[in-house]
Structure 1
């Protein structure tokens, strides 16, 4: 552990950010899981609503630099593809 005042402050800040980032990542994972569950059950309406929520959360997490913006875009794209396949299969 550092002894300088500024290093101690940086450490406190990093702990706060870690907790915040963990909470955001957990929320995003749960929203993605909700989309995938709806896709598996072929529930188009629930999948589309969950997709809107997941897309919003992923975009916000990318804006806050919790996820890399390209990684977030890739996840959103793949979720969209999965939801769009529901209509084709029916």
Structure 2
């Protein structure tokens, strides 16, 4: 158990950050799923619109330190490739 005041504060802070980061990751995943479902349905306009909405969310995840930049770059590349193939 945490004994020092700094350690106790760190635990409180980590719990708050975990909630925020979990919500952010969930939001990113939801946007990505919208793109994927539109691709599977074969709706190019909806997929393109969903991709346009998903890209800033993913970039924001990188800026906030929730996701690694190479991971996001890879996912964006694969999604845009799928949308372009429709």
Q: Which TM class, normalised by the smaller chain length?
A: over 0.9
Residue 47 of structure 1 corresponds to 47
Unaligned runs of 5+ in 2: none
Find the aligned partners of 2:46 and 2:38 in 1 and give their Cα distance: 6
Structure-2 residue corresponding to 1:4: 4
List 4+ stretches of structure 1 deviating above 6 A: none
Gaps of 5+ in 1: none
Distance 1:78 1:63 in 2: 20
Once the 2 structures are TM-superposed, how far is the Cα of residue 66 of structure 1 from its aligned partner? 0.1
Tell me whether 1:31 sits opposite 2:31 in the alignment.
Answer: yes
- What aligned pairs does 1:1-90 form with structure 2 within 5 A after superposition? 1-86=1-86
Instruction: Supply the RMSD in Å over aligned alpha carbons.
Output: 0.6
| TM-score, structure 2 as length reference | 0.97
Length-normalised TM-score, structure 1: 0.93
